[in-house]
Structure 1
Amino acid sequence: MTSQRRLVDAPWLTTGPAGRVLALLNGDGEEARAVGGAVRNALMGLAVGEIDIATTALPEEVVRRAKAAGFKVVPTGIEHGTVTLVVEGSPVEVTTLREDVETFGRKAKVMFGRDWQRDAERRDFTMNGLSVSIDGVVHDHVGGLPDVDAKRVRFIGDPDRRIAEDYLRILRFFRIHAAYGEGAPDREGYLASIRGREGIAGLSAERIRMELLKLLVAPGAYAATEAMVDAGLMLRILGGVTYLGPLSKMIGIEHSLGLAPSAVLRLGALGVAVTEDAKRLTQRLRLTNEENKALDSMGHRWWRLKGMDEARARQRLYRLGTARYRNRMLLGWARAGRDADAEGWAHLFALPDRWTPPVFPLKAADFMARGIAKGPALGHVLALAEDAWMANDFPMEVDVITVIADQTIARFKHDHRL
């Protein structure tokens, strides 16, 4: 049974790129509506981002109308009924209504249709199965309105069947719950996720990474992650131990410092105790090079940061740079336990705000002038001198630097019997 409600404040339905597309595709026997996340967010009073359009018009008719209106057309998935229209420089995805003919996983055989209810029934969760017409009327064919009101994430129809169609829906269930749900996850969906968890092994690492990183920055990230651990899902995703305590601590630290949620920091807290963990996560999730480097640096002897004085902290900042210094500092803080000196950790975290690492003042030419020839020996002497300079708290006075250079040469010659 279909129920309705009206959106009272949705200017994007009649203005901007989405409004222009809706106006274009309505009329002459065809209907178009905004569907999915945009409708859900509008009903929840949240920011509306990407707006997807569904229509009764066949793809060829969508293309014909778009070209006549002067819109750029990109056939992103036209064989499946999807075209992207570029309007005012913004992409708007338009998909013809569909209904299943045969279902076998993600490669279900579908045909184009004109039935809004059957199209809605193909979607994953009730709150994502809503649509809104250009007049602001929200159409609910799957029971999504009461679930939006209750902030309850629930599969459309049989959860086991929905999951078997695409096992990524297990991760999406927890991710959407973390972002828009309240309380415990829907029990039927939770139990179906447990029953279907072996199917996670068949998912691509890239798809898992995308959902997991989105989940980790959602408002309910900790509770959703804890539920996934209890369901035996995280071991299949991360392939190792998960650390809920450090994750909770990392989230609290971000809040206390006024930092934006960071998926990489939270993933590090959840899964990295040593650098080998970072390598495993990179392989299992196909992390980007930057994500891999960040996790690897965070996991490198973070335990040495505990109780570190400011002089030693300046050396770490000089070696690591601000971003990696702070990331490692945050992981050390998150793993320091309940008795951690929060004020002391925060003070060291803020070091880049009050001290800028200077540039090492000695150059290769300074040592060549002292008789060191080009080659490995020169690089070794430079490294020795830099270590000595750091140990002396980064002096910049010429006489002190001269002494460091001379003492480094003397030490090098002594060690090598030159």
Structure 2
Amino acid sequence: MTRERINAEWVFAPNTQAVCRALTDGGAQALFVGGCVRNALLEVPLRDIDISTDAVPERVIELVEAAGLKAVPTGIAHGTVTVVAGHEGFEVTTFRRDVATDGRRAVVAFSTEVADDAARRDFTMNALYARPDGTVLDPLGGMPDLEARRVRFIGNAHDRLHEDYLRALRYFRFHAWYGDHDAGMDPEALAAIGDALDGLDKISRERVGHEMHRFLEAVNPAPSVAAMRQCGALGALLPGADDRAMAPLIHLEGEAGVKPDAARRLAALGGGWVAESLRLPKAEIKRIDRIRTAAEEIQSPEEMGYRLKADARDGWLLRCALTETPWHGEDGLAAGRAARFPLKARDLMPDLQGPELGDTLERLENLWIASGFTLTRDELFAQRG
């Protein structure tokens, strides 16, 4: 099973090794697993360090506390204990095997075999483990898939999807982040996803929103989103979503030199209603709707810069993508963001009050914007009516 060794700095960091020693000194296994191993082999950044063990949660707590570390039972019913070493948290999870699944959650039993733990994972590239010295273990033969950047379900794709339908969306996310776009997608996986569309409405909106957010943070998710549409998954998860602006938007992001932004890309799929259906935070829903609405309105770069401030570039990028025009208008956006309306409500009081005050202030602001921000306070005051 040994195929390779990882030499990432985090493997040999004092805190990491302290957690591993606490387990191994007590006779338990300690294996790095999943994303941290995958990303180390691909030499890309990782989010978390996950450790798998044959020790049951109560034994894990006993061992790490005996070693002077802190144990937090964050998911003890599912076998997970968060071990804190030097103010750094590590999730330590007991080997598991599925007992029953319903497409949304699994009933699990603890196991002492790494093969059982590997078999219940989603993709072969995520079923890679490593010992504390960095030696990689490949119980299911996932290394060739990782080397080819091929996202492939473990075993039968239909079975994996019926265990958890969210894996359909995870498949596209992993292809966007780690797949070979030129080689295309696994036909068996796409066929299985197409057959499982009826099960996608069983997934909670919160889980879909979290997964979609991470998916759209990839450098170029456009091919994966297009494949989602083609197999019917996009329509099943987000009815009415339209990805036609996605590829042009991502091309323009490159021209403008901006980083991937999930909110901007959700705006490209449809705007606020998409965000609401994903149960995203209210502040983000408002931002997404603001970007989409501005992109669809007839505004100059200057006006968009003034009205949207920090979100102006996002709105203008989407405008260019929707209208299939080259990236331009950076100077106008900057001028709008810097502009400050010279009139205040108190300048028109007490002559104007209530709705009349608001209407007049809005009219004068529109005149000021149309002038290219050149009308002075006195000139605007003279036109107050």
Q: Name the TM-score, length of structure 2 as normaliser.
A: 0.92
| Secondary structure in 1 matching 2:338 | coil
Determine whether 1:178 maps to 2:176: yes
Q: Deviations over 1:203-227 (max 9, x none)?
A: 0111111112222232451111111
Find the structure with the greater CA-based Rg: 1
Contact 2:95–2:112 (CA under 8 A) maintained in structure 1: yes
1:323 matched to 2:323? The reply is no
| 1:393 and 2:375 correspond | no
2:320 aligns with one of 325, 329, 333: 333
Does 2:136 match 1:157?
Answer: no
User: Which aligned pairs between 1:116-155 and structure 2 lie closer than 5 A?
Assistant: 116-155=114-153
Aligned to 1:406: 382
Partner of 1:254: 253
Q: Indicate the residue corresponding to 1:13 in structure 2.
A: 11
Q: CA RMSD in A?
A: 2.2
Superposition deviation, residue 117 in structure 1: 0.9
CA apart distance, 1:304:
4.5
Of residues 28, 31, 35 in structure 2, which corresponds to 1:30? Answer: 28
Equivalents in 2 of 1:147, 1:215: separation in Å?
A: 20
Cross-structure match for 2:263: 264
Decide whether aligned partners of structure 1 residues 50 and 185 sit closer, same or farther in structure 2, where only a CA change above 3 A counts. Answer: same
Amino acid at match of 2:303: Q
The answer on 1:378 being equivalent to 2:357 is yes
Q: Residues 325 and 28 of structure 1: is their aligned pair in 2 closer, same or farther, counting only changes over 3 Å? A: closer
d(CA) in 1 for partners of 2:333, 2:2: 54
> What SS does the corresponding residue of 1:300 show, helix, strand or coil?
helix
286, 291, 297: which is aligned to 2:290?
A: 297
Structure 2: where are the runs of 5+ without partners? none
In the alignment, which residue of structure 2 is the partner of 1:415?
Answer: none
Q: Which amino acid aligns with 1:62?
A: V
The one-letter code sitting in structure 2 at the alignment partner of 1:233 is A
Deviation of 1:157 after TM superposition, in Å, equals 1.3
- Opposite residue 406 of structure 1, the aligned amino acid is A
- Contact residue 294 and residue 327 of structure 1 kept, 8 A: no
Report the CA distance between 1:107 and its aligned residue.
4.2
**How far off its partner does 1:75 sit?**
0.8
Cα-to-partner distance string for 1:390-411 (whole Å, 9 max, x where unaligned):
3433347xxx533431331xx3
Equivalent residue number for residue 363 of structure 1: 344
* Structure 2 residue 279 is the aligned partner of structure 1 residue 286: yes
Q: TM-score, normalised by structure 1?
A: 0.85
Q: Distance in 2 between matches of 1:22 and 1:145?
A: 24
Deviation (angstroms), 1:59: 0.9
What is the letter of the counterpart of residue 334 of structure 1?
Answer: A
Q: Give the drift of 1:149.
A: 1.3
Query: Is the 8 Å Cα contact of residues 6 and 40 (structure 2) preserved in structure 1?
Result: no
Deviation track 1:177-216 (CA, whole Å, cap 9, x = no partner) reads 1111112111211111111111101101111111122222
Aligned to 1:213: 213
Instruction: Give the SS at the match of 1:265.
Output: helix
Q: Offset of 1:168 from its aligned partner?
A: 0.2
Q: 1:111 to 1:363 in 2, by over 3 A?
A: closer
What whole-Å deviation, never above 9, does each CA across 1:9-58 have from its counterpart, x for those lacking one? 23322324322211211133211110001111111122233110001112
Matched residue pairs, number? Answer: 383
CA deviations on 1:241-267 (whole Å, 9 max, x unpaired) are 4233x1111000111111111112222
Cα distance, 1:100 vs structure 2: 3.0
1:349-405: CA deviations, max 9, x gaps?
A: 34344565343333344333xx61543333333333333333433347xxx533431
> Matched residue of 2:383: which SS?
helix
CA distance in 2, matches of 1:321, 1:219: 24
Conserved 8 A contact 1:14-1:23: no
Instruction: Tell me if structure 2 keeps the 8 A contact 1:174–1:185.
Output: no
Structure 1, unmatched stretches of 5+, are 273-277, 412-418
Compared CA separation, residues 77 and 333, structure 1 to 2 (3 A): same
User: Given the alignment, which residue of 59, 64, 74 partners 2:62?
Assistant: 64
Counterpart residue identity of residue 29, structure 2: E
> Counterpart of 1:111 in structure 2: which amino acid?
A
Structure 2 counterpart SS, 1:361: coil
> 2: distance between equivalents of 1:101 and 1:406?
78
Secondary structure of the structure 2 residue equivalent to 1:109 = strand
Q: 1:349 to 1:198 in 2, by over 3 A?
A: farther
Cα deviation, 1:114-159, whole Å, max 9, x if unaligned, reads 1111111111111111110012211111111111111111111111
Secondary structure, aligned partner of 1:335 = helix
